[in-house]
Amino acid sequence: MSEHEQYAEDLALYAMDALRGEDREKLEQHLATCASCRLGLEQLRGDSALLALSAAGPRPPQRARKRLLEAIAREPRIVAPPTGERRAWWGWLGWAATAAMLILALSLWRENFALRETLASASSTAAENARQLEELRKIAAPIIEPEAQRVTLVAAKTPPQPQGKAFYLRKRNSLLFLANNMPALPPAKAYELWLIPPTGAPIPAGVFKPDAHGSAIVVNPPLPAGAEVKAFAITVENEAGSSAPTSPVLMMGAGE
Amino acid sequence: MSSQQRQGIPADLALASGLKTGDQGAMAELYDRYSSVVYAVALRVLGDTGAAEDVLQEVFLQLWRNPSAFDAARGNFGSWLAVVTRNRAIDSLRKRRPETDIENVVLSVAPDLAGDAERARAAEKVRGVMGAMLPAQRSALEMAYWEGMSHSEIANKTGEPLGTVKTRIRAGLIALRKAFQS
């Protein structure tokens, strides 16, 4: 197909991570909508793998094996539940990345509803995307629809504690935050979520007030691009939010 | 290795699935099968045994932490691991943050490279193809692949137009592909 010729050479470079700058951005945008180029990319990656396999060299030292197996034994393990026969198309993503993708898909869906409908009728690829977005919307609905019930489970005889869970995907600037059992606040006050970078000041990441059940959600607050996260924290601020924390940290968590 | 597989020793895919249930034995077996490939690729890129050992550790640890990462790849496990290793090693060489998560490395590979013997034969064939290439094409491919240079960096270094660099690299990969189609 002639419209893909312009991308054919860029694909080879991209397969080896040698495409940078504007060309890279243009290609990535194209790849998002072009299944045949994605397939071409896979094949070129396979070709480049042949280069990798031609590397000859000494075997690694024995201590490396010991070091790895010891490191693995120290890792916390979450055993995955047995997977069903049919994998969902997003099944290969981790749960956190899936949640973040949901948010991105939802914001795209909300903002581009009309455009999506037009595109869906224009080509089968777009129709498939729309179907997938619809599936994602269904999944996300119990998380963010106001009438959804939220339940926090804790060990028996333990009163539920305030709890927050943040899902952050740096490369897409996507944040989903869920809070449960947050105490009610005086009027004119709100909780503020902060993204704590490895260095520098805490970054405002959304203001929220718990509902009658103590639950709240923050979806895709504006964040500086590519912010690195060391931890998240919550303080109490005035309703309108603050650009810097003015009260002690109430809740905090670092990455899992 | 492939004759062993015919005798019922677990295939790579079965071992990779074992990772998901925290099977440390599966990880040890995968390490034994592929650590030399990973180490050789890392050493070729980095030229330093300590740094190569670090990449070796990191790649397998990343695999342990992301046992589903290989699922989307339709290539075979060894090829996928080699590509992931090369990418990580280049990131380390160029001192930059990884641009592609390992879950996003999807590749399809035509030749059967499941065992040591197949891989050794493939490696010979690749070296033959590279040796027969025009020097300018071979060096453009190697600069991109083993040194992680971008197309504009290669153009600057060789003094050739960007378009020529792009064409050479694509033609080089296609030449490799063709050598395995028979």
Residues A139 and A100 in one domain: yes
Which residues of chain A does B40 touch, with a Cβ-Cβ cutoff of 8 Å? 55-58
Which residues of chain A does B146 touch, with a Cβ-Cβ cutoff of 8 Å? 51
Which residues of chain A does B85 touch, with a Cβ-Cβ cutoff of 8 Å? 52
Domain span including residue B163: 133-182
Residues A120 and A169 in one domain: no
Average pLDDT over residues A20-40: 90
Q: Which of A175, A193, A152, A35 is nearest to A97 (CA)?
A: A175
| β-strand partners of A232 | A195, A253
Q: What is the pLDDT of residue A121?
A: 54
Contact B166 A44 (CB under 8 A): no
Nearest CA in chain A to B47: A57
Q: Using CA atoms, how far apart are residues A194 and A234, in angstroms rounded to an integer?
A: 6
Domain span including residue A43: 2-50
Question: Does B104 contact A at CB distance below 8 Å?
Answer: no
pLDDT tens track for A168-226: 888 888 888 989 889 988 888 999 999 999 888 999 999 999 988 888 888 888 888 88
Residue B165: inside a domain: yes
What's B175's domain CATH number?
1.10.10.10
Q: Using CA atoms, how far apart are residues A195 and A224, in angstroms rounded to an integer?
A: 10
pLDDT tens track for B71-96: 755 567 888 888 889 999 998 998 87
- Label the pairing between strands A163-169 and A174-180: antiparallel
Q: What is the pLDDT of residue B158?
A: 95
Residues A131 and A170 in one domain: no
Distance of alpha carbon B103 from the chain centroid: 14
Q: How many CB atoms lie within 10 A of CB A26?
A: 14
Question: Does B178 contact A at CB distance below 8 Å?
Answer: no
Residues B103 and B157 in one domain: no
- Minimal Cβ distance to B79: which of A39, A49, A59: A49
Residue B122: inside a domain: no
| Residue/partner pairs of B93-98 with CB below 8 Å, 24 or more apart | B93/B45, B93/B46, B93/B147, B93/B148, B94/B148
Residue B125: inside a domain: no
Q: How many CB atoms lie within 10 A of CB A80?
A: 14
Whole-complex ipTM: 0.83
Residue B128: inside a domain: no
Specify the length of chain A in residues: 256
Specify the length of chain B in residues: 182
Residues A132 and A171 in one domain: no
Q: Which of A134, A232, A67, A52 is nearest to B173 (CA)?
A: A52
- Minimal Cβ distance to B113: which of A53, A58, A80: A53
Which residues of chain B does A75 touch, with a Cβ-Cβ cutoff of 8 Å? 61, 64-65
